[in-house]
A and B are shown apart, each in its own frame.
Chain A
């Protein structure tokens, strides 16, 4: 399985600011994803990060709020823009090598917006 490094591991941010989360994989991966997990909830897919093109967003998530970059097959960033307390959550980077394969996760970023 791939080794996935995600940072920062946690942050406390002021409302109205933005935070960029980085995800680095030790090998090339086909698919990269960004999830959000709110307290007591399961994982919600934010978007699929596409290499060299715009990310594919799920219903309820938009590029202006969650811009995503994926410049190559080993790296992606997620920015949480103009944060509000409702954005407080765990954000997880995930990778898969194929459409029927399992997913692996970074350690997550625990974000608190005050």
Chain B
């Protein structure tokens, strides 16, 4: 099982649609979680951290379920500019091994 697994995608949705991405992680000792956005030929940029109680930033909502080792990202009212690859990232602090584990990413295309 991969340490971080994401929906394979790609997702093609019309403008205004609501789209949800899922991510599971294998290490129960993981302590912090993030969603990043990566545009084509660009570096990843932090979209939002994921908190235990869930958090919202405008049209974006992130949820964490520690019991199921599951993270989600919901995008409401999709815009053309939301088209990108979304990366699920898990920070694993297990002993002396502390590093970010990156999912393969889910591609989103928002169509007019």
Contacts and interface: CB of A to CB of B under 8 A. Distances in A.
Nearest to B99: A45
B102 A100 contact: no
A103 B100 CA distance: 8
A1 B36 CA distance: 15
Nearest to B100: A103
Given A101-B32, A102-B46, 14 more contacts: A42-B87, A42-B102, A42-B103, A43-B44, A45-B100, A48-B99, A92-B43, A99-B93, A99-B98, A100-B32, A100-B91, A102-B34, A103-B46, A108-B42
Closest 6 CB pairs of A and B: A105-B43, A43-B102, A42-B102, A100-B32, A42-B104, A99-B98
Interface in A35-81: 41-43, 45, 48
A100 B104 contact: no
16 contacts: A42-B87, A42-B105, A43-B102, A45-B99, A99-B98, A100-B31, A100-B93, A102-B46, A102-B49, A103-B44, A103-B100, A105-B44, A106-B43, A107-B42, A108-B42, A108-B43
Most chain B beta-carbon neighbours within 10 Å: one of A99, A104, A107, A108: A99
Interface residues of A, number: 18
A107 B42 CA distance: 7
B49 A41 contact: no
Interface residues of B, number: 21
A41 B89 CA distance: 14
Interface of B: 31-32, 34, 41-46, 49, 87, 89, 91, 93, 98-100, 102-105
Nearest to A40: B104
A1 to B, nearest CB: 8
A105 B45 contact: yes
A111 B28 CA distance: 36
Given A104-B46, A105-B43, A99 B104 contact: no
Contacts of B44: 43, 92, 103, 105
A45 B87 CA distance: 15
B43 A107 contact: yes
